[in-house]
Structure 1
Amino acid sequence: MRTDTRRLPRSTPESQGISTAAIAAFLDAVERTGAGLHSFMLVRHGHVVAEGWWAPYAPALRHMLYSLSKSFVSTAVGLAVAEGRLTVDDAVVRFFPESLPPTVSDNLAAMRVRHLLSMSTGHDVDVNDAVKNAPDGDWARAFLAQPVQHRPGTHFAYNSAATYMLSAVVQRLAGETVLAYLGPRLLAPLGITGATWESCPRGVNIGGWGLEIRTEDIAVFGQLYLRGGVWRNQQILPATWVEEATRRHVRNGDAPDSDWAQGYGYQFWRCRHNA
């Protein structure tokens, strides 16, 4: 297992076609906003051309990823699909027979794994608060009890509870948490060590948030997707999943100049310039 924290080559900005002055101007502009950066790493052509940490943060310190955690859950699902454990067209209800409400609505019955992935479960709004506040700690049961107002696949609602359900599905199929499942399949090959992930009261990784890794770990993960699932000449993740996960699956707005309205993939936001 690799334990190095510097896995990407370093280079000067100019050698990769970027202006040092432009980077400095960007950082100055951010500072003027008072946003308070914790870390910054700019990668161009696979080379780190600028990096920095603001005290008390440091290169070796793990940081909460918040919703970036979702893309790691998507990766776990992609690996499980590649292993034949499930398909994106599997019905969600089949994984939780003991947690179903007394009456399963047509819309709930129609919900598929792909709808969890694309935030198009059919819920009118995010049901995360109702799920995480379940009095018995059974988040899956609470999710399945929520009304599904729209036909799945027809309505976008950003919904961290959907990501939790993906985490729960993987755990059911693999017999281990998403973090443990990703260990030998993704984290170890990428040199990501010491990762942690928050869990629900039932011991399922929360999925939608809660993963903690280092800044360069994030950069390496991004490079994996940019390279079609390949890292150091090894196909870690099927290229077909990289393409599926990052393409548009659902409409989420009509503002052509907004990076928040360019469609949503499988736990990946899309933005302008087909990125």
Structure 2
Amino acid sequence: MENQARLPRTTPEAQGIPSQAVIAFLDAIRERELELHSFMLLRRGEVAAEGWWAPYRPEYPHMLFSLSKSFASTAIGFAAAEGLLSVEDTVIGFFPDEVPETISENLAAMQVRHLLMMGTGHAADVTGSVQKDDNWVRGFLAEPVEYAPGTHFAYNSAATYMLSAILHRITGQSLLAFLEPRLFAPLGLSEATWETCPRGIATGGWGLNVTTEDIAKFGQLYLQRGEWAGQQILPSAWVDEATSFQIDNDDGRANDWTQGYGYQFWRCRHGAYRGDGAFGQFCVVLPEQEAVLAITSGVADMQAVLDVAWAVLLPALSASDALEPDEANQAALAERLASLRIDAPQAEPSSPNEAQLEGRVFRMEPNELQLDTIALRFSEQGAELVIGSERAGEQTAQLGRGAWKASRIRIESVKQGAEQRVEGSFAWQDGDTLDIRLLFAETPFTYKLALRADGEAIELQFSANVAWEAGRVLTIRGQAAALA
């Protein structure tokens, strides 16, 4: 496969995949009400099918959450290949100035490979506790290590952060700077961003933002066992080790989270492996089928997405040779892919109640969103939602009437408060409730604001399509301040 900015494209049939199978995959996703944002299906290094649910677009980066871990692991693979470290190196050996006064036997025995395999010996994830200390390395090393490293699996994002901190300590570079000439440039990946800790070290276990095609290329590199454009850029031995069974994580459930864990890669059923992140960010590699499936989404049930892939796509990947062209189904698939979208709210486009809200500033009760004021300015084409907060200042989001309208705003709780793309829309429900949607097109999140005015008072119900606390609705009340 040639080294180029974009992967080569082909038809499904040219890679032995019936177009009807991809249509069936899309049908199953819709029937299960799974909110996918994009997918790319690769076979033998070529894109057999791809789609984006508008207003998501191919050029937009997407939050990866824990899929970032697989990229961090890859950086350690490069470092090990260059002799900068060994997976047998002890963790405390990199941080002699950060260790606690008393070093337990288990902490002393913890090695880089234990960080990689989520076998640090901690009884549970210590990330939340570690983040209470401005120095996350010191906080991590201070945590009790209850088990002998390598004997107990505990999914632990702080372990991946420590990989990032180790790399930063030995190279003086960030994860992105280290990966740029070794991974990003050879594969022609897009410009990326990675969140950092209070000391400026990449978070490692989360926080990376890249495009769907970048995810697909990353998976293809692993499928090719580290080879790209005729060059072995990542040792094949590392790929084999990182994606093989390193530690048992069986908890009695027969799903894709109990098949064993490698070096920041999950083992899957059907001989596959994957990197994944919260709310449905996937890089699934199927070596036996010579295929890669890259997905971004906003789903609560990640297993459901994999179940659809196994039930519908996996059987379709059984053919080893190209199929006869199927022009009718190829045309039907092209039409389906072109029509993929996330619908804006549809109801009454306007209401007499707009006059109650027009130009008025409402001061909100103290709330965890740190939302101080809210105001709306309506026009024939749409509206402007003006949000005020002490931390982020005044932000203005454009809203279409029953259609998405683009703007850029800053939300402190998302991507470290960086300005980002948002698609806004509104419609009136029953003429009384204003249904506002803010779709953050580089994230899994769509926020719903159900706003109802009653004279000088306003009530706002805030919810999200996916959240760490599923189904939670936050109610915030406010009072009119003055006419703008």
User: Shorter-normalised TM-score: what interval?
Assistant: over 0.9
Give the CA deviation at 1:254.
5.5
- Matched residues, percent identical? 62
Are residues 1:233 and 2:230 paired? yes
Give the CA deviation at 1:194.
1.1
AA aligned opposite 2:267: R
Are residues 1:148 and 2:145 paired? yes
**Counterpart for residue 27 of structure 1:** 26
The whole-number CA distance in structure 2 between the counterparts of 1:66 and 1:5 is 24
8 Å Cα contact 1:3-1:192 kept in structure 2:
no
AA aligned opposite 1:175: G
8 Å Cα contact 1:252-1:264 kept in structure 2:
yes
**Counterpart for residue 15 of structure 2:** 16
Greater share of strand: 2
The whole-number CA distance in structure 2 between the counterparts of 1:215 and 1:178 is 20
Q: How does 1:121-140 map to 2 (within 5 A)?
A: 121-134=120-133, 137-140=134-137
| Structure 2, gaps ≥5 residues long | 273-484
The structure-2 alpha-carbon separation of the partners of 1:3 and 1:9, relative to structure 1 and needing over 3 Å to count, comes to closer
Give the CA deviation at 1:110.
0.5
Give the CA deviation at 1:253.
0.2
1:106-137, CA deviations, whole angstroms, 9 ceiling, x for partnerless residues?
Answer: 00001000000000000000011111232xx1
The whole-number CA distance in structure 1 between the counterparts of 2:214 and 2:151 is 35
**Counterpart for residue 69 of structure 1:** 68
**Counterpart for residue 119 of structure 2:** 120
Secondary structure of 2:149's counterpart equals coil
Secondary structure of 1:154's counterpart equals coil
8 Å Cα contact 1:257-1:272 kept in structure 2:
no
RMSD over aligned Cα atoms: 1.5
How does the TM-score come out when normalised to structure 1? 0.95
The whole-number CA distance in structure 1 between the counterparts of 2:268 and 2:35 is 24
8 Å Cα contact 1:13-1:20 kept in structure 2:
yes
Give the CA deviation at 1:3.
11
8 Å Cα contact 2:109-2:149 kept in structure 1:
yes
The whole-number CA distance in structure 1 between the counterparts of 2:250 and 2:155 is 12
AA aligned opposite 1:273: H
8 Å Cα contact 2:245-2:262 kept in structure 1:
yes
8 Å Cα contact 1:229-1:238 kept in structure 2:
yes
8 Å Cα contact 1:128-1:160 kept in structure 2:
yes
| Higher relative contact order (CA closer than 8 Å, sequence separation 6+) | 1
**Counterpart for residue 272 of structure 1:** 269
8 Å Cα contact 1:196-1:213 kept in structure 2:
yes
AA aligned opposite 2:135: D
Give the CA deviation at 1:261.
1.1
| Structure 1, gaps ≥5 residues long | none
How does the TM-score come out when normalised to structure 2? 0.55
**Counterpart for residue 178 of structure 1:** 175
AA aligned opposite 1:133: K
* Structure with greater Cα Rg: 2
The whole-number CA distance in structure 1 between the counterparts of 2:270 and 2:34 is 25
Are residues 1:46 and 2:49 paired? no
